[in-house]
Protein backbone atom coordinates (compact mmCIF):
# COMPACT_ATOMS: atom_id res chain seq x y z
CA UNK A 1 0.00 0.00 0.00
CA UNK A 2 1.40 3.39 -1.02
CA UNK A 3 2.09 5.78 1.81
CA UNK A 4 -0.01 8.97 2.05
CA UNK A 5 2.20 11.99 1.48
CA UNK A 6 1.46 15.65 2.11
CA UNK A 7 3.86 18.31 0.88
CA UNK A 8 3.69 21.67 2.64
CA UNK A 9 4.83 24.69 0.65
CA UNK A 10 6.13 27.85 2.32
CA UNK A 11 7.67 31.15 1.37
CA UNK A 12 10.73 29.98 3.27
CA UNK A 13 11.65 27.07 5.52
CA UNK A 14 14.48 27.55 8.03
CA UNK A 15 15.41 23.96 8.82
CA UNK A 16 18.18 24.20 11.50
CA UNK A 17 19.53 21.35 9.38
CA UNK A 18 23.18 22.10 8.59
CA UNK A 19 23.33 20.29 5.25
CA UNK A 20 20.22 22.05 3.92
CA UNK A 21 19.51 25.16 6.01
CA UNK A 22 16.86 26.69 3.70
CA UNK A 23 14.09 25.14 1.63
CA UNK A 24 10.64 25.87 0.20
CA UNK A 25 8.84 22.52 0.68
CA UNK A 26 8.65 19.75 3.24
CA UNK A 27 7.09 16.32 2.70
CA UNK A 28 5.27 14.61 5.57
CA UNK A 29 4.08 11.04 5.94
CA UNK A 30 2.79 9.19 9.01
CA UNK A 31 3.48 12.22 11.19
CA UNK A 32 7.16 12.39 10.29
CA UNK A 33 9.31 14.33 7.86
CA UNK A 34 9.84 12.38 4.66
CA UNK A 35 12.00 14.95 2.93
CA UNK A 36 12.78 18.64 2.62
CA UNK A 37 13.83 20.69 -0.40
CA UNK A 38 12.11 21.84 -3.58
CA UNK A 39 8.80 20.56 -4.89
CA UNK A 40 10.59 18.82 -7.77
CA UNK A 41 12.87 17.00 -5.30
CA UNK A 42 10.03 15.84 -3.09
CA UNK A 43 7.66 14.85 -5.92
CA UNK A 44 9.97 11.90 -6.60
CA UNK A 45 8.63 10.19 -3.48
CA UNK A 46 5.41 9.47 -5.37
CA UNK A 47 1.82 10.71 -5.36
CA UNK A 48 1.23 13.54 -2.92
CA UNK A 49 -1.24 16.17 -1.76
CA UNK A 50 0.08 19.71 -1.97
CA UNK A 51 -0.88 21.87 1.04
CA UNK A 52 -0.45 25.54 0.15
CA UNK A 53 -2.03 27.19 3.20
CA UNK A 54 1.43 28.30 4.39
CA UNK A 55 2.69 29.43 0.99
CA UNK A 56 3.07 33.02 2.24
CA UNK A 57 4.56 32.07 5.63
CA UNK A 58 7.85 30.90 7.12
CA UNK A 59 8.27 27.49 8.73
CA UNK A 60 10.77 26.69 11.45
CA UNK A 61 11.16 23.55 13.53
CA UNK A 62 8.52 23.61 16.25
CA UNK A 63 9.98 25.60 19.13
CA UNK A 64 11.27 23.54 22.06
CA UNK A 65 10.90 25.13 25.51
CA UNK A 66 13.38 23.38 27.80
CA UNK A 67 12.43 25.17 31.00
CA UNK A 68 8.81 25.96 31.66
CA UNK A 69 6.01 24.58 33.79
CA UNK A 70 2.62 23.14 32.95
CA UNK A 71 1.21 25.30 35.76
CA UNK A 72 1.36 28.02 33.11
CA UNK A 73 -2.11 26.61 32.39
CA UNK A 74 -3.37 26.30 35.98
CA UNK A 75 -2.25 29.69 37.35
CA UNK A 76 -4.97 31.42 35.33
CA UNK A 77 -7.59 29.91 37.62
CA UNK A 78 -6.38 32.51 40.12
CA UNK A 79 -5.94 36.29 40.23
CA UNK A 80 -3.01 37.84 38.36
CA UNK A 81 -1.28 40.66 40.28
CA UNK A 82 1.98 41.03 38.33
CA UNK A 83 3.69 44.22 37.20
CA UNK A 84 3.64 43.61 33.44
CA UNK A 85 0.69 42.90 31.16
CA UNK A 86 0.21 39.17 30.55
CA UNK A 87 -1.77 37.13 28.03
CA UNK A 88 -3.74 34.07 29.14
CA UNK A 89 -4.06 30.78 27.18
CA UNK A 90 -7.15 32.09 25.37
CA UNK A 91 -5.43 35.26 24.17
CA UNK A 92 -6.93 37.71 26.69
CA UNK A 93 -4.55 40.40 27.97
CA UNK A 94 -4.53 41.07 31.73
CA UNK A 95 -3.12 44.50 32.69
CA UNK A 96 -0.17 44.76 35.05
CA UNK A 97 -0.30 46.58 38.39
CA UNK A 98 2.28 49.28 39.13
CA UNK A 99 2.01 49.70 42.93
CA UNK A 100 1.42 47.76 46.13
CA UNK A 101 -1.76 49.77 46.69
CA UNK A 102 -2.95 48.65 43.26
CA UNK A 103 -2.29 45.02 44.16
CA UNK A 104 -4.29 45.38 47.37
CA UNK A 105 -7.14 47.03 45.48
CA UNK A 106 -7.31 44.10 43.05
CA UNK A 107 -7.29 41.63 45.95
CA UNK A 108 -10.08 43.59 47.64
CA UNK A 109 -12.13 43.43 44.43
CA UNK A 110 -11.74 39.65 44.28
CA UNK A 111 -12.44 39.23 48.00
CA UNK A 112 -15.81 40.91 47.58
CA UNK A 113 -16.80 38.32 44.95
CA UNK A 114 -16.12 35.29 47.17
CA UNK A 115 -19.34 33.99 48.70
CA UNK A 116 -17.82 31.09 50.62
CA UNK A 117 -15.81 32.47 53.53
CA UNK A 118 -13.85 29.22 53.74
CA UNK A 119 -12.51 29.73 50.21
CA UNK A 120 -8.87 30.77 50.02
CA UNK A 121 -8.09 33.87 47.97
CA UNK A 122 -5.16 33.02 45.69
CA UNK A 123 -3.16 35.44 43.56
CA UNK A 124 0.05 35.09 41.57
CA UNK A 125 2.68 37.07 39.70
CA UNK A 126 3.46 39.51 42.55
CA UNK A 127 6.90 41.13 42.51
CA UNK A 128 7.64 44.00 44.93
CA UNK A 129 11.14 44.61 43.56
CA UNK A 130 9.57 46.89 40.92
CA UNK A 131 7.93 49.26 43.39
CA UNK A 132 9.89 52.45 43.99
CA UNK A 133 9.26 52.67 47.74
CA UNK A 134 10.87 49.30 48.42
CA UNK A 135 8.09 48.27 50.80
CA UNK A 136 7.53 44.51 51.17
CA UNK A 137 4.03 43.12 51.60
CA UNK A 138 3.21 42.08 55.17
CA UNK A 139 0.24 40.67 57.07
CA UNK A 140 -0.72 44.27 57.93
CA UNK A 141 -1.20 44.99 54.23
CA UNK A 142 -3.32 41.87 53.74
CA UNK A 143 -5.38 42.85 56.80
CA UNK A 144 -6.83 45.55 54.53
CA UNK A 145 -8.18 42.79 52.30
CA UNK A 146 -9.51 40.58 55.10
CA UNK A 147 -8.72 39.95 58.74
CA UNK A 148 -10.04 36.40 58.70
CA UNK A 149 -9.72 34.98 55.19
CA UNK A 150 -6.90 32.68 54.15
CA UNK A 151 -4.92 34.56 51.45
CA UNK A 152 -1.97 33.33 49.39
CA UNK A 153 -0.07 35.69 47.10
CA UNK A 154 2.57 33.80 45.09
CA UNK A 155 5.48 35.87 43.81
CA UNK A 156 6.30 35.76 40.11
CA UNK A 157 9.49 33.81 40.77
CA UNK A 158 7.66 31.01 42.58
CA UNK A 159 10.21 31.12 45.40
CA UNK A 160 8.36 33.55 47.67
CA UNK A 161 4.83 33.57 49.04
CA UNK A 162 2.94 36.17 51.05
CA UNK A 163 0.21 34.89 53.34
CA UNK A 164 -2.44 36.45 55.54
CA UNK A 165 -2.51 36.47 59.32
CA UNK A 166 -5.11 33.69 59.29
CA UNK A 167 -2.77 31.38 57.34
CA UNK A 168 0.07 32.01 59.79
CA UNK A 169 -2.27 31.20 62.66
CA UNK A 170 -3.51 27.94 61.13
CA UNK A 171 0.02 26.89 60.17
CA UNK A 172 1.31 27.56 63.67
CA UNK A 173 3.89 30.03 62.38
CA UNK A 174 4.83 32.52 65.09
CA UNK A 175 7.86 34.17 66.67
CA UNK A 176 9.10 30.80 67.94
CA UNK A 177 9.07 29.15 64.50
CA UNK A 178 12.61 28.20 63.50
CA UNK A 179 12.22 27.32 59.82
CA UNK A 180 14.53 28.87 57.23
CA UNK A 181 12.47 31.04 54.90
CA UNK A 182 9.99 32.32 57.50
CA UNK A 183 10.77 36.02 57.22
CA UNK A 184 10.58 38.03 60.45
CA UNK A 185 10.58 41.71 61.35
CA UNK A 186 13.02 43.50 63.66
CA UNK A 187 11.03 42.40 66.69
CA UNK A 188 11.18 38.74 65.64
CA UNK A 189 7.58 38.33 64.46
CA UNK A 190 6.69 36.71 61.11
CA UNK A 191 5.95 39.25 58.38
CA UNK A 192 3.85 36.83 56.32
CA UNK A 193 6.52 36.44 53.63
CA UNK A 194 7.72 32.86 53.19
CA UNK A 195 10.80 31.98 51.16
CA UNK A 196 11.48 28.67 49.39
CA UNK A 197 9.76 25.34 49.56
CA UNK A 198 9.87 24.25 53.22
CA UNK A 199 8.28 27.45 54.49
CA UNK A 200 5.76 27.65 51.64
CA UNK A 201 4.57 24.08 52.20
CA UNK A 202 3.63 25.00 55.76
CA UNK A 203 1.13 27.53 54.37
CA UNK A 204 -0.26 25.38 51.57
CA UNK A 205 -0.96 22.53 54.00
CA UNK A 206 -3.56 24.60 55.88
CA UNK A 207 -5.48 25.85 52.84
CA UNK A 208 -7.89 24.27 50.38
CA UNK A 209 -5.49 25.12 47.54
CA UNK A 210 -3.52 22.64 45.46
CA UNK A 211 -0.02 23.89 44.88
CA UNK A 212 0.61 25.30 41.46
CA UNK A 213 2.67 22.22 40.58
CA UNK A 214 -0.28 19.90 41.25
CA UNK A 215 -1.18 19.51 37.57
CA UNK A 216 -4.28 17.84 36.15
CA UNK A 217 -5.56 17.14 32.64
CA UNK A 218 -7.41 20.46 32.32
CA UNK A 219 -4.20 22.31 33.16
CA UNK A 220 -2.30 20.37 30.52
CA UNK A 221 -4.86 21.30 27.86
CA UNK A 222 -4.63 25.00 28.83
CA UNK A 223 -0.83 24.72 28.76
CA UNK A 224 -1.01 23.33 25.22
CA UNK A 225 -3.20 26.22 24.06
CA UNK A 226 -0.58 28.72 25.19
CA UNK A 227 2.17 26.68 23.53
CA UNK A 228 0.34 26.61 20.20
CA UNK A 229 -0.17 30.37 20.33
CA UNK A 230 3.61 30.94 20.40
CA UNK A 231 4.84 28.14 18.12
CA UNK A 232 5.93 25.62 20.78
CA UNK A 233 5.48 21.93 19.95
CA UNK A 234 7.70 20.38 22.66
CA UNK A 235 7.78 21.66 26.24
CA UNK A 236 9.03 20.59 29.64
CA UNK A 237 7.09 20.53 32.86
CA UNK A 238 10.26 21.17 34.79
CA UNK A 239 9.26 20.37 38.38
CA UNK A 240 6.64 17.72 37.91
CA UNK A 241 4.99 15.65 40.55
CA UNK A 242 5.04 12.03 39.43
CA UNK A 243 2.57 10.30 41.72
CA UNK A 244 0.18 7.87 40.03
CA UNK A 245 -2.61 10.42 39.56
CA UNK A 246 -0.23 12.88 37.87
CA UNK A 247 1.20 10.19 35.61
CA UNK A 248 -2.31 9.14 34.63
CA UNK A 249 -3.18 12.71 33.60
CA UNK A 250 -0.03 13.00 31.48
CA UNK A 251 -0.93 9.72 29.83
CA UNK A 252 -4.55 10.69 29.24
CA UNK A 253 -3.80 13.92 27.39
CA UNK A 254 -0.84 12.64 25.36
CA UNK A 255 -2.79 9.61 24.17
CA UNK A 256 -5.45 11.94 22.78
CA UNK A 257 -4.92 12.28 19.03
CA UNK A 258 -5.88 15.97 19.20
CA UNK A 259 -3.42 16.99 21.92
CA UNK A 260 -1.03 19.42 20.17
CA UNK A 261 2.07 19.26 22.38
CA UNK A 262 4.90 16.89 23.25
CA UNK A 263 5.51 16.92 27.02
CA UNK A 264 8.74 16.32 28.92
CA UNK A 265 7.88 16.11 32.64
CA UNK A 266 10.98 16.41 34.85
CA UNK A 267 10.35 14.68 38.17
CA UNK A 268 10.67 17.05 41.14
CA UNK A 269 13.60 15.65 43.08
CA UNK A 270 12.57 17.53 46.22
CA UNK A 271 9.40 15.45 46.45
CA UNK A 272 11.21 12.07 46.24
CA UNK A 273 13.56 10.28 48.61
CA UNK A 274 17.15 9.80 47.48
CA UNK A 275 16.77 6.08 48.11
CA UNK A 276 13.67 5.53 45.95
CA UNK A 277 13.61 8.53 43.59
CA UNK A 278 16.21 7.46 40.98
CA UNK A 279 14.61 4.07 40.44
CA UNK A 280 11.12 5.55 40.27
CA UNK A 281 12.12 8.20 37.71
CA UNK A 282 13.90 5.61 35.55
CA UNK A 283 10.88 3.30 35.70
CA UNK A 284 8.55 6.03 34.42
CA UNK A 285 10.08 5.67 30.96
CA UNK A 286 7.86 2.63 30.41
CA UNK A 287 4.93 5.06 30.01
CA UNK A 288 6.55 7.06 27.21
CA UNK A 289 4.84 7.58 23.88
CA UNK A 290 5.24 9.88 20.88
CA UNK A 291 4.00 12.83 22.94
CA UNK A 292 5.32 11.96 26.40
CA UNK A 293 8.94 11.66 27.53
CA UNK A 294 9.54 10.75 31.17
CA UNK A 295 13.04 10.09 32.49
CA UNK A 296 14.28 13.58 33.40
CA UNK A 297 14.81 14.79 36.99
CA UNK A 298 14.80 18.37 38.31
CA UNK A 299 17.17 19.19 41.19
CA UNK A 300 16.26 22.41 43.04
CA UNK A 301 19.28 23.98 44.72
CA UNK A 302 18.86 27.66 45.59
CA UNK A 303 16.11 30.25 45.13
CA UNK A 304 15.54 33.45 43.18
CA UNK A 305 18.04 36.25 42.64
CA UNK A 306 15.44 39.03 42.46
CA UNK A 307 13.76 37.44 45.49
CA UNK A 308 17.14 37.50 47.30
CA UNK A 309 17.00 33.75 47.95
CA UNK A 310 19.57 32.80 45.28
CA UNK A 311 22.93 31.64 46.66
CA UNK A 312 25.84 33.89 45.66
CA UNK A 313 29.60 33.65 45.97
CA UNK A 314 31.52 36.56 47.50
CA UNK A 315 30.82 39.54 47.43
CA UNK A 316 27.14 38.61 47.68
CA UNK A 317 24.19 40.91 47.03
CA UNK A 318 24.98 44.42 45.85
CA UNK A 319 22.51 46.00 48.30
CA UNK A 320 23.90 44.04 51.24
CA UNK A 321 21.05 41.54 51.64
CA UNK A 322 22.07 38.30 53.35
CA UNK A 323 22.87 35.31 51.17
CA UNK A 324 19.98 33.20 49.93
CA UNK A 325 18.47 29.86 50.86
CA UNK A 326 19.41 26.30 50.00
CA UNK A 327 16.30 24.19 49.38
CA UNK A 328 18.22 21.22 50.79
CA UNK A 329 21.57 21.12 52.59
CA UNK A 330 24.50 21.20 50.13
CA UNK A 331 25.66 17.71 51.10
CA UNK A 332 22.15 16.33 50.53
CA UNK A 333 22.06 17.96 47.10
CA UNK A 334 25.47 16.47 46.31
CA UNK A 335 24.28 13.02 47.38
CA UNK A 336 21.17 13.43 45.23
CA UNK A 337 23.26 14.20 42.14
CA UNK A 338 25.39 11.11 42.71
CA UNK A 339 22.33 8.88 43.17
CA UNK A 340 20.51 10.04 40.02
CA UNK A 341 23.68 10.06 37.93
CA UNK A 342 24.55 6.51 39.02
CA UNK A 343 21.03 5.41 38.05
CA UNK A 344 21.54 6.76 34.53
CA UNK A 345 19.01 9.58 34.97
CA UNK A 346 19.60 12.92 33.30
CA UNK A 347 19.30 15.96 35.60
CA UNK A 348 18.38 19.57 35.02
CA UNK A 349 19.64 21.53 38.03
CA UNK A 350 18.12 24.83 39.13
CA UNK A 351 21.12 27.11 39.76
CA UNK A 352 20.42 30.82 39.89
CA UNK A 353 23.39 32.06 41.90
CA UNK A 354 27.04 31.30 41.12
CA UNK A 355 27.47 29.50 44.45
CA UNK A 356 24.69 27.12 43.41
CA UNK A 357 26.34 26.57 40.01
CA UNK A 358 29.66 25.82 41.77
CA UNK A 359 27.99 23.26 44.03
CA UNK A 360 26.39 21.42 41.10
CA UNK A 361 29.53 21.49 38.92
CA UNK A 362 31.49 19.99 41.80
CA UNK A 363 28.77 17.41 42.40
CA UNK A 364 28.70 16.35 38.74
CA UNK A 365 32.49 16.14 38.62
CA UNK A 366 32.53 13.89 41.70
CA UNK A 367 29.71 11.74 40.30
CA UNK A 368 31.58 11.30 37.02
CA UNK A 369 34.74 10.25 38.86
CA UNK A 370 32.79 7.51 40.64
CA UNK A 371 30.65 6.49 37.66
CA UNK A 372 32.05 7.68 34.31
CA UNK A 373 29.28 8.27 31.80
CA UNK A 374 29.55 9.71 28.31
CA UNK A 375 26.95 12.07 26.87
CA UNK A 376 25.11 12.58 30.17
CA UNK A 377 23.95 16.10 29.20
CA UNK A 378 23.29 17.15 32.78
CA UNK A 379 22.15 20.76 32.49
CA UNK A 380 22.50 23.80 34.74
CA UNK A 381 19.22 25.59 34.24
CA UNK A 382 18.97 29.33 34.82
CA UNK A 383 22.76 29.28 35.39
CA UNK A 384 22.41 33.05 35.57
CA UNK A 385 25.57 34.11 37.38
CA UNK A 386 28.05 31.51 36.09
CA UNK A 387 31.45 33.08 35.41
CA UNK A 388 34.05 32.24 32.81
CA UNK A 389 35.87 29.70 34.97
CA UNK A 390 32.61 27.86 35.61
CA UNK A 391 31.74 27.77 31.93
CA UNK A 392 35.24 26.39 31.24
CA UNK A 393 34.62 23.56 33.70
CA UNK A 394 31.18 22.91 32.22
CA UNK A 395 32.72 22.52 28.77
CA UNK A 396 35.33 20.08 30.12
CA UNK A 397 32.73 17.99 31.98
CA UNK A 398 30.10 17.87 29.20
CA UNK A 399 27.59 19.96 31.16
CA UNK A 400 24.94 21.90 29.23
CA UNK A 401 23.50 25.28 30.20
CA UNK A 402 19.97 26.62 29.91
CA UNK A 403 20.16 30.37 30.31
CA UNK A 404 17.32 32.58 31.53
CA UNK A 405 17.71 35.39 29.00
CA UNK A 406 14.24 36.80 29.73
CA UNK A 407 15.70 38.02 33.02
CA UNK A 408 17.65 40.67 31.14
CA UNK A 409 14.43 42.40 30.12
CA UNK A 410 12.26 41.77 33.17
CA UNK A 411 14.82 42.28 35.96
CA UNK A 412 17.97 43.61 34.30
CA UNK A 413 17.51 47.12 35.70
CA UNK A 414 16.95 45.71 39.18
CA UNK A 415 19.97 43.42 38.89
CA UNK A 416 22.15 46.38 37.98
CA UNK A 417 20.84 48.60 40.80
CA UNK A 418 20.03 46.13 43.60
CA UNK A 419 21.08 42.51 43.26
CA UNK A 420 24.37 42.26 41.31
CA UNK A 421 25.65 45.76 40.60
CA UNK A 422 26.82 47.12 37.25
CA UNK A 423 29.71 44.78 36.48
CA UNK A 424 28.27 41.38 37.44
CA UNK A 425 24.88 42.23 35.94
CA UNK A 426 26.56 42.52 32.53
CA UNK A 427 27.61 38.86 32.62
CA UNK A 428 24.22 37.46 33.60
CA UNK A 429 22.87 34.73 31.31
CA UNK A 430 26.07 34.70 29.32
CA UNK A 431 25.08 33.18 25.97
CA UNK A 432 28.11 34.70 24.26
CA UNK A 433 30.48 33.06 26.72
CA UNK A 434 28.70 29.69 26.47
CA UNK A 435 29.01 29.77 22.68
CA UNK A 436 32.63 30.93 22.75
CA UNK A 437 33.72 28.19 25.17
CA UNK A 438 31.74 25.41 23.51
CA UNK A 439 29.13 24.78 26.21
CA UNK A 440 25.92 23.42 24.62
CA UNK A 441 23.22 25.91 25.53
CA UNK A 442 19.60 26.79 25.18
CA UNK A 443 17.50 29.68 26.51
CA UNK A 444 14.16 29.69 28.25
CA UNK A 445 11.16 31.51 29.74
CA UNK A 446 10.50 29.53 32.96
CA UNK A 447 6.82 30.20 32.23
CA UNK A 448 4.75 31.25 34.08
CA UNK A 449 7.58 33.21 35.77
CA UNK A 450 7.86 35.09 32.46
CA UNK A 451 5.65 34.62 29.39
CA UNK A 452 6.08 31.55 27.22
CA UNK A 453 7.28 33.04 23.92
CA UNK A 454 10.44 31.65 22.27
CA UNK A 455 10.73 34.56 19.83
CA UNK A 456 10.76 36.97 22.78
CA UNK A 457 13.33 34.79 24.55
CA UNK A 458 15.46 34.83 21.39
CA UNK A 459 15.03 38.62 21.15
CA UNK A 460 16.34 38.95 24.71
CA UNK A 461 19.45 36.91 23.86
CA UNK A 462 20.11 38.91 20.70
CA UNK A 463 19.51 42.42 22.06
CA UNK A 464 19.98 42.16 25.87
CA UNK A 465 17.71 45.14 26.42
CA UNK A 466 16.27 45.84 29.86
CA UNK A 467 12.73 47.15 30.36
CA UNK A 468 14.14 50.68 30.51
CA UNK A 469 15.96 50.24 27.18
CA UNK A 470 19.50 49.77 28.54
CA UNK A 471 21.82 47.27 26.81
CA UNK A 472 23.09 45.04 29.60
CA UNK A 473 26.30 43.26 28.61
CA UNK A 474 26.69 43.89 24.88
CA UNK A 475 29.56 41.39 24.69
CA UNK A 476 27.16 38.58 25.60
CA UNK A 477 24.75 39.25 22.71
CA UNK A 478 24.40 36.46 20.14
CA UNK A 479 23.13 36.65 16.58
CA UNK A 480 19.62 35.75 15.46
CA UNK A 481 20.62 32.44 13.89
CA UNK A 482 22.24 31.27 17.14
CA UNK A 483 19.24 32.38 19.18
CA UNK A 484 16.81 30.52 16.90
CA UNK A 485 19.00 27.43 17.10
CA UNK A 486 18.92 27.73 20.89
CA UNK A 487 15.09 27.55 20.99
CA UNK A 488 14.96 24.62 18.56
CA UNK A 489 17.85 22.18 18.17
CA UNK A 490 19.77 23.55 21.16
CA UNK A 491 16.85 22.95 23.49
CA UNK A 492 16.19 19.51 21.98
CA UNK A 493 19.83 18.56 22.64
CA UNK A 494 19.58 19.41 26.35
CA UNK A 495 16.51 17.14 26.59
CA UNK A 496 18.14 14.21 24.73
CA UNK A 497 15.46 14.62 22.05
CA UNK A 498 17.52 16.06 19.19
CA UNK A 499 17.10 12.79 17.27
CA UNK A 500 13.32 13.43 17.20
CA UNK A 501 12.72 17.20 17.22
CA UNK A 502 14.54 20.51 16.85
CA UNK A 503 15.24 20.54 13.12
CA UNK A 504 13.39 19.88 9.88
CA UNK A 505 15.07 16.82 8.43
CA UNK A 506 14.01 13.32 7.38
CA UNK A 507 12.92 10.95 10.11
CA UNK A 508 12.06 13.55 12.72
CA UNK A 509 8.55 14.44 13.83
CA UNK A 510 6.75 16.80 11.45
CA UNK A 511 6.61 19.62 14.01
CA UNK A 512 6.76 23.19 12.73
CA UNK A 513 6.34 26.71 14.06
CA UNK A 514 4.38 28.72 11.49
CA UNK A 515 5.40 32.41 11.35
CA UNK A 516 4.02 35.28 9.31
CA UNK A 517 7.53 36.58 8.55
CA UNK A 518 11.08 35.32 8.23
CA UNK A 519 12.69 36.06 11.65
CA UNK A 520 16.12 36.30 10.00
CA UNK A 521 14.83 38.94 7.58
CA UNK A 522 13.51 41.52 10.04
CA UNK A 523 15.51 44.07 12.07
CA UNK A 524 16.79 42.42 15.24
CA UNK A 525 14.92 45.00 17.30
CA UNK A 526 11.54 43.60 16.19
CA UNK A 527 12.34 39.88 16.33
CA UNK A 528 9.95 39.48 19.27
CA UNK A 529 7.11 41.03 17.24
CA UNK A 530 7.09 38.46 14.43
CA UNK A 531 3.56 37.04 14.48
CA UNK A 532 2.99 33.33 15.05
CA UNK A 533 0.14 31.72 13.10
CA UNK A 534 0.29 28.52 15.16
CA UNK A 535 1.94 25.14 14.79
CA UNK A 536 2.04 21.93 12.83
CA UNK A 537 2.48 18.93 15.12
CA UNK A 538 2.90 15.48 13.66
CA UNK A 539 1.78 16.86 10.30
CA UNK A 540 -1.48 18.30 11.72
CA UNK A 541 -2.01 22.08 11.68
CA UNK A 542 -3.10 23.85 14.88
CA UNK A 543 -3.90 27.57 14.55
CA UNK A 544 -3.25 29.82 17.52
CA UNK A 545 -6.06 31.52 19.43
CA UNK A 546 -6.00 34.59 17.17
CA UNK A 547 -6.26 32.55 13.97
CA UNK A 548 -9.18 30.31 14.80
CA UNK A 549 -12.33 30.94 12.79
Render pLDDT for 496-508 as a digit per residue (tens, 0 to 9): 999 999 999 999 9
Q: DSSP character for 31? A: T
Q: What DSSP line would sit under 200-249, residue for residue?
A: HHHHHTTSS---TT---HHHHHHHHHHHHHTTEEEEEEEEE--SHHHHHH
d(CA 503, CA 521): 19
Share of the chain above pLDDT 90, in %: 91
**pLDDT value at residue 197:** 86
pLDDT at 1 over 70: no
Alpha helices by DSSP H, 398-490: 406-414, 422-425, 431-437, 454-463, 480-485
pLDDT at 210 over 80: no
pLDDT at 2 over 80: no
**pLDDT value at residue 211:** 65
- The band of 115, judged by pLDDT with boundaries at 50, 70 and 90, is confident
pLDDT at 549 over 70: no
Q: Give the domains, in start order, of the chain with CATH numbers.
A: 65-69+213-535 (3.20.20.140), 83-155+159-204 (3.10.310.70)
| Distance of alpha carbon 28 from the chain centroid | 30
pLDDT tens digits, one per residue of 512-528 = 999 999 999 999 999 99
Burial 472-484 (b: 16+ CB within 10 A, else e): bbeebbbebebbb
**pLDDT value at residue 215:** 82
d(CA 501, CA 505): 9
Amino acid sequence: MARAITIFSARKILTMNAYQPVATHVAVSEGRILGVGSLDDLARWGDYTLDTRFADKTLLPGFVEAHCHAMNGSVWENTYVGYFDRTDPDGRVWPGIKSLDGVLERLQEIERTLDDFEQTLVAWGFDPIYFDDGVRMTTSHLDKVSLDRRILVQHSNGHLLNVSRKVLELAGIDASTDVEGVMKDAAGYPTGELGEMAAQYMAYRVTDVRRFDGINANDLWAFARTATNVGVTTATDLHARVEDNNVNDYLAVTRDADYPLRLVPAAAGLTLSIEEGPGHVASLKRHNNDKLFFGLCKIMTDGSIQGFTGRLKWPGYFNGKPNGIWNLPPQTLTDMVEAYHSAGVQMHMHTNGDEASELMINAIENALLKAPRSDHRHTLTHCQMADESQFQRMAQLGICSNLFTNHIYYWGDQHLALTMGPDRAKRMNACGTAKRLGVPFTIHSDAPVTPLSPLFTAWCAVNRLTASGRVLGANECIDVEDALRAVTLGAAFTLHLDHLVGSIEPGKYADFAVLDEDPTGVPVEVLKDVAVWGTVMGGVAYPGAHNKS
